Structure 1
């Protein structure tokens, strides 16, 4: 079942490969608590042909990821058609966050400014975030308004490097030397 309705979807994982011969697939979760992925229903797969709604009827931990069975898919070849596809859920189904907390998808696309000597300098736009052992990192890609065409990696540490986030304005202010 595909839909042409506009949905407010947020990526929460990816189907990476087939598993076995009975229609199971390998799943990578992008949620902070990885197993939370399975508490969100329905799943929408972002395919080249639009979005497709699916249900998972069984899953289990497999190494550092999961394997799952898509309801109604009992053949490896059919399961293979779902690989390499992002898993999304409707944004309204996600839990509310406390003030000052953000989903990564809310930060992606924000324009990043550094305030230096009373001036706002555009560093670029948040392209993605990376999870590291110490803290998350903002990957700030250059845009048409940025100081230069350099990509910068800014530690996502609110209060230290990230001074403010204004989702309605689409901006983030950071304490980061533009030369670095």
Structure 2
């Protein structure tokens, strides 16, 4: 990692949103591969936190972003702290984190996937169906993937995250109510 970057602790609400792929051009710009098809968090935050590639959880660095914009199938960004191509190449593979508090506010009935992970899911009868483990983009809709235990055995459920099946999302209550039965 660059020695000129300021060492920093990851914020408690840091979310990994991208990875730096490579240098872009000769003036210190770098290519960023977002984890989301809608990378608004990268554009809304002017400070990113970087960690070296791999599973290392310490050694974060703060990077002040001058500009980030869409380019082809990726994002390109620049920083005062990255003056040239060599410095940008040194960032290759770094994991990019952004504080959740700097994400733009979601519109009504829209949710960030990261906010749904870990929520309990119950049906209209109050029967627990599981906990959201992940979300899948499956064509025109998103699908909730739940982990549950039935008779002491792990069970995976998938529920389309569409208004026909999702009655209510209560983020503060950490609960999603659905029109779904366990045997579907």
- Is the TM-score greater than 0.5? yes
Unaligned runs of 5+ in 1: none
The answer as to whether partners of 1:57 and 1:71 remain within 8 angstroms in 2 is yes
Unaligned runs of 5+ in 2: 1-5
Q: Judging changes above 3 Å, is the alpha-carbon distance between structure 1 residues 75 and 163 closer, same or farther for their aligned structure 2 residues?
A: same
The answer as to whether partners of 2:23 and 2:85 remain within 8 angstroms in 1 is no
* Alignment match of 1:131 (pick from 115, 119, 137): 137
The answer as to whether partners of 1:19 and 1:67 remain within 8 angstroms in 2 is no
Q: Judging changes above 3 Å, is the alpha-carbon distance between structure 1 residues 178 and 3 closer, same or farther for their aligned structure 2 residues?
A: same
Are residues 1:39 and 2:44 paired? yes
Are residues 1:85 and 2:92 paired? no
Return the offset for 1:19. Answer: 3.0
Specify the alignment match of 1:121 in structure 2. 128
Return the offset for 1:99. Answer: 4.3
| Distance across 2 between alignment mates of 1:43 and 1:26 | 14
Task: Provide the aligned C-alpha RMSD in A.
Answer: 3.0
The answer as to whether partners of 1:113 and 1:121 remain within 8 angstroms in 2 is yes
The answer as to whether partners of 2:32 and 2:77 remain within 8 angstroms in 1 is yes
Are residues 1:169 and 2:173 paired? yes
Question: Structure 2 length normalisation: TM-score?
Answer: 0.72
Q: Deviations over 1:128-169 (max 9, x none)?
A: 222333112212233xxx3342322211113x2112222233
Q: Judging changes above 3 Å, is the alpha-carbon distance between structure 1 residues 98 and 78 closer, same or farther for their aligned structure 2 residues?
A: closer
For this pair of structures, how many residues does the alignment match? Answer: 171
* Alignment match of 1:65 (pick from 64, 67, 74): 74
Runs of 4+ in 1 over 6 A off after TM superposition: none
* Alignment match of 1:18 (pick from 14, 17, 22): 22
| Distance across 1 between alignment mates of 2:88 and 2:106 | 37
| Distance across 2 between alignment mates of 1:119 and 1:59 | 45
* Alignment match of 2:8 (pick from 3, 6, 14): 3
Specify the alignment match of 1:178 in structure 2. 182
